[in-house]
Amino acid sequence: MTVALYHRPGQDGQALTFTAEVRAVGESGGTPEVMLDRTAFYPEGGGQSGDAGRLVWAGGEAAVEDTRKDKASSEVWHRLAPGAALPLPGTTVGGEVDAARRARHMQRHSGEHLLAQAFARVNPAFEVAAVSMTGPECHLDLRGDPTEADVRAAEALLRVTLGRDDLTLETPVVDEADLDRYPLRRETKVRGQVRLVIFRDAAGDFFDVSACGGTHVPRAAQVAPVAVLRTERIKSGLTRVTFMAGEEAAEYLSGVYRGTRALAQSLSVPVDRVGERVGALGAELLTLRAEAESLRAALAGALVAAQPAETLGTLSVRALTLPDAALLAPALAAVPAGEVLLVLAPGGRCGVASATPAVRAGEVLRAALAVTGGRGGGRAELAQGSTEAPEAFFGAVRDALA
């Protein structure tokens, strides 16, 4: 089994350089891999992504793009860049973990633990069912149906907690028989020796205790800020809480503020009044849309009324060509009583409206489009679609009516 230097006592998550011996080389899915006797590269697991970095040896080096653990053997394999040279088994290599990537992973994982504990303190029913921290936007899937008010309460509690700057990390390995001495947030399925991740304050009081094999920040304050971006109901009645933590959250919130400030400037209002101004503009837009619809209906009605009717057998028919496709629906709605209205608009948009029981608009339109090409349909009173041969549409409809 590979010795996990990322769990080195007193340096949890802080060991970034090391030397090791190559135990084996191989390939997985076309990607070259190296297995070492010891490593500081954390392998993907527990919702946390694997580390990246590089390996160096006499006469060569290779980028490590990801790290995985073999579930059967617990050996850690380092996935190298495609086409990379491979050191021979027995070679001594130097390893260097990408410090920036490791820091982001630790902030995400510690942020997940601390936010989950905050939700548990708001309501013990908010139990974690699943987690994911493989990208800047992380997920907590919670039971108990937390509301928006619960989310705000959890954020507020965590903001106060992280502001104290006295919550520090401990990672003892304890026998499963001694687990009842610790207030575990979640029951663990791990047996034998269990690694705990504990955040405890200066007075010795526990804030969060979880069984976990991931890497974490030494001080809880390093995950600030923790921001919940959204919540959504997912399968099995769970609520997915999407959040960001640490530097990634700070960068995101800074970008949101810059965008909001630019919007505020364009609206000539202070940043704190953007929501109010946008709400007012939304109400104004709804009013203008209603006015525009009313004007379109009036114009369409006037155009229909101005178009002379023709007699086709026993039918009174009007054929109208519109200047704007937006007038199609209101024009069809303005068909005079007892008549049939044929309408053609830019882009091949077309329609038939019938105000007489003798003509079923949907059937007539489908018959015309079978001749001119296109698609469409509707009910007996009104049908719409598009034709591939606008110049032949009116003739095809007249033939269908004959």
Indicate if 118 and 233 belong to the same structural domain: yes
CA distances from 361 to 6, 303, 367, 383 (A): 74, 20, 10, 6
Residue 254 three-state SS? helix
Its domain, for residue 118, covers 103-258
Mapping DSSP onto H, E and C, the string for 43-77 reads CCECCECCCCEEEEECCEEEEEEEEEECCCCCCEE
Indicate if 148 and 243 belong to the same structural domain: yes
C-alpha Rg value of the chain to the nearest Å: 34
Task: Identify how many contiguous H helices and E strands the chain contains and give both numbers.
Answer: 7, 22
pLDDT tens-digit series, residues 266-312:
999 999 999 999 999 999 999 999 999 999 999 999 999 999 999 99
Q: How many domains does the chain have?
A: 3
pLDDT tens-digit series, residues 224-251:
999 999 999 998 889 999 999 999 999 9
- Among 258, 275, 299, residue at a domain's last position: 258
Indicate if 109 and 232 belong to the same structural domain: yes
Answer for the pair 223, 245: CB distance below 8 angstroms, yes or no: yes
What residue spans of 240-325 are helical by DSSP H? 246-267, 274-306
Indicate if 243 and 387 belong to the same structural domain: no
- Cα 341 versus chain centre, distance: 47
pLDDT of residue 11: 56
Indicate if 79 and 114 belong to the same structural domain: no
pLDDT lower than 50: segments of the chain:
none
Q: What is the DSSP letter of 315?
A: E
Indicate if 32 and 139 belong to the same structural domain: no
